[in-house]
């Protein structure tokens, strides 16, 4: 088992294009990333089954879905800094062990509230794992084509795992209860632990600077408040709580920024982050990853509740996104090397815009080929943008602070996922409630609907289905009304996602430098950060 690498070995590693034993090391790091993505992907597919068992509102189901990406987003910056300082291999191994524990707790949760907490715990554990895998790739592979190819493979496989996770969860739910869907990643986590312990070097190019623990706490609390505020602000009846959380987020994140400017060893070096080749790709990636997660979150519920797909069918319906990733992956690194970050991202954004156009056309009679085309385009877009963004962030950051770059890469992924799922989920819930109220008021039997029934019908599709079982004479009308309400809510959510894509496209055009200027910008970033 490899032990601490000596300083001489550090130099040797730095001069190599790839580390000794590159194959097993890269396989182990990709497998660890896959574990995180499988765990996160299980949530949205299981939502209808969870809602049926617990009778949960759409707001509670939203929290189940965003729990894991939320926990990951709030912790990646702090955990990335801890890994940079105290050992990436050690933090990675501990995180995988905790994922096993968190997965078991999710499966055993007796209430929806405890399930939400277990999913947040899963995300916190993943926050120790996912950013550390990219940090190790950056530390072990020298900058250049070799690193870009390793990052492209890492990103493509992790992205496909997000899609495969939906299929696996759907297959499990076809035969087993919802709880089993959270156990599928445990065997892979155990295998990853064994390979990492045997193959990955213990300490390579790590920081010797003290960790800014206060900054870590402030970043964790600030991001948590920000994500929750968005979910509450747009959810029915949650505006007051959302505003309070938003104010708290602004204050805490403001204190975090002040701390980073004045701290001797900041957790998040703003000298690096303010450079165009850092913040512009970060924002662009944030929007793309968020758009992907939001689209999957809404579409899986649309397919199961409106199109009446089974959980397995809904999981398989998302599979074309993996095909898009697979098709685009070989080209992503080539386009990045030959055309640069800006061109690669623009192509990805064009494909993502086309995907959202197809989703805006979805109705109760939508043919499957239109769904498949949308997901193929999403997969290809994410492959292009994730490769370009991850490469830009790591190239713009000194290797001893690469945890900051990998943390930002994961932050754009999971903060984007958390915020867009919160936002689109809240819009879905509001649209569903609004459309349901309108349908009821226009109904000839509006006088028969009690206040309790009204609240249940507006809560979620699962709650409306429960009301339908209690009122068999009106069951068909209730379910059809719920489907129409969900179509309206889904359209509203997809429209919002399309607007976010337009915003990201503008950022890429005006903020990401051309290929000719990119090389000089990266060199300047390194000079300013050193």
36-94: per-residue pLDDT in tens? Answer: 888 877 777 787 788 778 877 666 777 887 788 888 888 878 887 788 778 788 889 99
Among 159-168, 200-209, 277-286, the range of highest mean pLDDT: 277-286
Nearest to 439 by CA among 461, 424, 454: 454
Block residue for tokens 């990119």 = 518
Given a contact cutoff of 8 angstroms between Cβ atoms, the answer to whether 423 and 416 are in contact is no
CA-based torsion, 122, 32, 403, 421: positive or negative: negative
In the predicted model, what is the mean pLDDT of residues 273-278? 74
Q: Which residue has better confidence, 461 or 155?
A: 155
Give pLDDT, residue 7.
Answer: 41
Query: What does each C-alpha distance from 357 to 324, 354, 367, 377, 483 come to in angstroms?
Result: 17, 5, 15, 11, 21
Query: What does each C-alpha distance from 223 to 76, 194, 245, 470 come to in angstroms?
Result: 10, 33, 11, 42
d(CA 234, CA 245): 13
Q: What is the pLDDT of residues 308-362, one digit of tens each?
A: 888 788 878 888 888 888 888 778 878 887 788 888 889 999 999 999 899 888 8
Q: Which residue has better confidence, 84 or 133?
A: 133
Given a contact cutoff of 8 angstroms between Cβ atoms, the answer to whether 35 and 129 are in contact is yes
d(CA 151, CA 154): 5
Residue ranges of E strands in 411-504: none
Q: Which residue has better confidence, 187 or 289?
A: 187
d(CA 269, CA 403): 11
Q: Which residues of 172-206 are buried (b: 16+ CB within 10 A; e: fewer)?
A: bbeeeebbebbbbbbebbeebbebbeebbbebbbb
Give pLDDT, residue 516.
Answer: 60
For the whole model, what pTM was predicted?
Answer: 0.69
In the predicted model, what is the mean pLDDT of residues 502-515? 82
Share of the chain above pLDDT 90, in %: 12
Q: Which residue has better confidence, 483 or 225?
A: 225
Given a contact cutoff of 8 angstroms between Cβ atoms, the answer to whether 133 and 32 are in contact is yes
Q: Which residue has better confidence, 148 or 172?
A: 172
Distance of CA 72 to the CA centre of its chain: 9
Query: Is pLDDT at 101 greater than 90 in this prediction?
Result: yes
Q: Which of 192-196, 232-236, 288-292 has the lowest mean pLDDT?
A: 232-236
pLDDT grade, residue 10 (50/70/90)? very low
pLDDT grade, residue 104 (50/70/90)? very high
Rounded to the nearest 10 degrees, what angle do helices 368-395 and 402-442 cross at? 150
Nearest to 138 by CA among 271, 19, 296: 19
Query: Is pLDDT at 226 greater than 80 in this prediction?
Result: yes
In the predicted model, what is the mean pLDDT of residues 478-495? 73
Query: Is pLDDT at 28 greater than 90 in this prediction?
Result: no
d(CA 314, CA 48): 11
Query: Is pLDDT at 12 greater than 70 in this prediction?
Result: no
Q: What is the pLDDT of residues 439-462, one digit of tens each?
A: 555 555 545 555 555 555 545 565
């Amino acid at each position: 088992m490899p032990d601490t690498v000596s300083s001489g070995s550090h130099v040797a590693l730095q001069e190599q294009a790839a580390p000794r034993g590159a194959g097993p090391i890269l396989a182990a790091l990709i497998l660890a990333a896959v574990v995180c993505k499988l765990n996160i992907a299980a949530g949205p597919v299981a939502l209808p089954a969870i809602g049926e068992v617990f009778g949960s509102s759409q707001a509670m189901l939203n929290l189940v879905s965003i729990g894991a990406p939320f926990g990951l987003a709030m912790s990646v910056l702090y955990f990335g800094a801890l890994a940079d300082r105290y050992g990436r291999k050690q933090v990675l191994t501990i995180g995988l062990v905790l994922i096993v524990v968190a997965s078991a707790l999710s499966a055993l949760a007796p209430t929806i509230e405890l399930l939400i907490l277990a999913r947040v715990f899963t995300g916190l554990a993943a926050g120790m794992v996912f950013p550390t895998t990219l940090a190790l790739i950056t530390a072990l592979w020298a900058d250049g084509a070799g690193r870009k190819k390793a990052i492209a493979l890492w990103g493509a496989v992790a992205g496909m795992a997000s899609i495969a996770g939906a299929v696996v969860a759907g297959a499990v739910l076809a035969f087993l209860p919802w709880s089993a869907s959270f156990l599928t990643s445990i065997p892979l986590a155990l295998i990853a632990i064994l390979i990492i312990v045997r193959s990955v070097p213990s300490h390579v190019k790590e920081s010797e600077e003290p960790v800014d623990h206060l900054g870590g706490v402030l970043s964790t609390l600030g991001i948590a408040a920000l994500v929750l505020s968005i979910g509450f602000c747009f959810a029915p009846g949650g505006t007051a709580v959302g505003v309070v959380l938003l104010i708290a987020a602004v204050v805490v994140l403001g204190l975090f920024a002040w701390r980073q400017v004045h701290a001797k060893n900041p957790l998040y070096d703003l000298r690096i982050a303010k450079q165009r080749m850092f913040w512009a790709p970060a924002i662009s990636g944030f929007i793309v990853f968020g758009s992907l997660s939001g689209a999957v979150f809404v579409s899986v519920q649309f397919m199961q509740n409106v199109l009446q797909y089974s959980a397995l069918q809904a999981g398989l319906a998302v599979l074309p996104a993996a095909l898009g990733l697979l098709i685009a992956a070989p080209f992503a690194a080539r386009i990045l090397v030959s055309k640069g970050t800006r061109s690669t991202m623009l192509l990805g954004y064009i494909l993502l815009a086309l995907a959202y156009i197809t989703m805006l056309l979805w109705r109760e009679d939508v043919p499957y080929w239109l769904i498949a085309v949308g997901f193929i385009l999403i997969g290809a877009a994410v492959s292009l943008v994730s490769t370009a963004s991850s490469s830009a962030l790591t190239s713009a950051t000194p290797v001893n602070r690469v945890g900051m770059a990998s943390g930002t890469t994961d932050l754009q992924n999971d903060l984007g996922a958390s915020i867009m799922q919160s936002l689109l989920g809240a819009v879905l819930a509001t649209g569903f409630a609004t459309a349901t109220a309108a349908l009821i008021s226009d109904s000839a039997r509006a006088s028969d609907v009690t206040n309790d029934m009204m609240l249940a019908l507006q809560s979620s599709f699962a709650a409306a289905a429960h009301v339908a079982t209690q009122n068999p004479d009106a069951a068909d009308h209730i379910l059809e009304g719920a489907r129409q309400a969900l179509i309206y809510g889904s359209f509203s959510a997809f429209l919002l996602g399309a607007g976010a894509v337009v915003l990201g496209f503008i950022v890429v055009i005006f903020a990401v430098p051309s290929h000719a200027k990119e090389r000089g910008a990266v060199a300047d970033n390194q000079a300013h950060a050193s």
